[in-house]
Amino acid sequence: MDFSLTEEQLLVQRTARDAAERLLAPKAAARDVSGEFPLQELAELAELGLLGVAVPEALGGAGMGPIAYSLAMMELGRGDASVAVAVSVSNMVAELIATNARPEVARQWVPRLVNGELVCGAFALSEPESGSDAAAMRTTAEKRGGTWRLTGAKQWITSGDRAGALVVWAVTDVAAKHNGITAFIVPGDAKGLTVARLEDKLGLHGSSTAQLVLDGVEVGEDQILAGVGRGFSLAMQALDGGRIGISSQAIGIARGALEQTIRYAGERQTFGQPIIKHQAIAMMLADAATWLDAGTLMTLRAAAAKEAKQPFSQLAAMAKLFSTEHAWKICDHCLQIHGGYGYVRDFPIERALRDVRATRIYEGTSEIQRLVIARNLLRGP
């Protein structure tokens, strides 16, 4: 495998790093306290092309591919995980519409997603009674003439109250089970679409998470993605790519925490020397650095496979499983090394620990990743 990056990929990485340090990190602690949604930050990231990194240039995106997108997400996660998750989902929605909508419909939505006009996109798959078991969803879509009426509820929808465009999954044929699920593009201001509640979360306070209610929301036939009954397979494909983004986000959070902890361990003195010279601390940092490097390589390997249009579902599942589980361990090690200081808001480590915890849940829990990996192993090479 060629581990070298192109000049274009390095430029995206530098752009995201500068944005993270200049726009995101300075306000991350305050945003964590206030819960303010990062409207201005998303607008500025859109101007930099970071809301459509892998979206084709013909639709207003950067056309840079999954590797550049992964690198960008690592940098943004390092700056502020709350903003990074909104960027991740919006990129996923823009790419999903770009590759699966009718050309005229893609032109209607995608340029406005990537330039920030629609603020961001939302991915409305999960429901109050249907999370990991997506095929058990209860939201329905009934065809009436040339339109479909969507009725039901969606849960855990990132940016669901702010998104100008949502991809919503609904059952169009109950008897067909998972083959009877269809994906629709729904405007954020659609009549009948309401926000039932916003969740009060452990972390990611600057990212809104909504429960949505659809009460007879009307959607045109042309707003269907990939065709009637193709929604379930479309969701699984999108989640494969989304797992690369969340793995990248987790790596970014862990990298930021580790960098801060290395600085702290070099300055903090106990027993007459910096704590980094104590073997117990050095071993924890060595483990963290090794896990971080492994997760980074696994994630870029999955991104490279996707970019080469090779099978990447297994690679993405393995990358997400390893990176998110070990990012949690890295942040926990970092808090432990900080001691009491790591447990208070004066230091950013406790926020990193709270923020990184969600990466083991969304875009497929760690348990689901293990099922995906195991099933692929059973199929053989």
d(CA 13, CA 73): 9
In a domain, 179, yes or no: yes
153-171 pLDDT, tens digit per residue, is 999 999 999 999 999 999 9
Which residues are identified as catalytic? Answer: 363
- The CATH number of the domain holding residue 215 is 2.40.110.10
Same domain, 239 and 215: no
Task: Please say which residue of 120, 142, 158 terminates a domain.
Answer: 120
Which of 208, 229, 250 is the C-terminal boundary of a domain?
Answer: 229
Residue 154 domain-assigned (yes or no):
yes
Q: Tell me the pLDDT tens digit for each residue of 79-90.
A: 999 999 999 999
Output the pLDDT for position 146.
Answer: 87
112 lies in the same domain as 62:
yes
pLDDT for 134: 86
Residue 1 is assigned to a structural domain of this protein: no
- Between CA 154 and CA 86, with CA 126 as vertex, the angle to 5 degrees is 90
Place of tokens 């819960």: 35
Per-residue pLDDT tens over the stretch 184-219: 999 999 999 999 999 999 999 999 999 999 999 999
Please, are residues 82 and 88 in contact by the beta-carbon 8 Å criterion?
Answer: no
Question: Are both 260 and 185 inside the same structural domain?
Answer: no
Q: How are beta strands 269-270 and 273-274 bridged, if at all? A: antiparallel
Cα angle at 72 between 66 and 74, to 5 degrees? 105
Residues 220 and 199 grouped into a single domain: yes
pLDDT per residue, tens digit, the chain (381 aa), is 677 999 999 999 999 999 999 999 999 999 999 999 999 999 999 999 999 999 999 999 999 999 999 999 999 999 999 999 999 999 999 999 999 999 999 999 999 999 999 999 999 999 999 988 888 999 999 999 889 999 999 999 999 999 999 999 999 999 999 999 999 999 999 999 999 999 999 999 999 999 999 999 999 999 999 999 999 999 999 999 999 999 999 999 999 999 999 999 999 999 999 999 999 999 999 999 999 999 999 999 999 999 999 999 999 999 999 999 999 999 999 999 999 999 999 999 999 999 999 999 999 999 999 999 999 998 876
Q: In this structure, are 184 and 198 located in the same domain? A: yes
248 and 371 co-located in one domain: yes
CATH number of the domain where residue 256 is located: 1.20.140.10
Residue 2: inside a domain: no
Range of the domain at 38: 7-120
Length, in residues, of the chain: 381
Examine the domain organization and report whether 61 and 110 are in the same domain.
yes
241 and 373 co-located in one domain:
yes
* 236 and 371 co-located in one domain: yes
Q: Based on the domain organization, do 140 and 187 belong to the same domain? A: yes
Angle between helices 349-357 and 81-100 (to 10 degrees): 30
228: Cβ contacts below 8 Å, ≥ 6 apart: 172, 182
Pairing mode, strands 121-124 and 165-171: parallel
Number of domains in the chain: 3
- How many Cβ atoms from other residues are within 10 Å of residue 361's Cβ? 16
The answer on 134 and 106 residing in a single domain is no
What's the N-to-C CA distance of the chain in angstroms? 19
- Domain boundary at 174, 202, 229, which? 229
Instruction: State the Cα–Cα distance between residues 62 and 11, nearest whole angstrom.
Output: 12
pLDDT of residue 1: 64
**Does residue 319 sit in the same domain as residue 208?**
no
Distance between CA atoms of residues 316 and 162, nearest Å? 28
Output the pLDDT for position 135: 86
- The reply to whether 92 falls in a domain is yes
The reply to whether 64 falls in a domain is yes
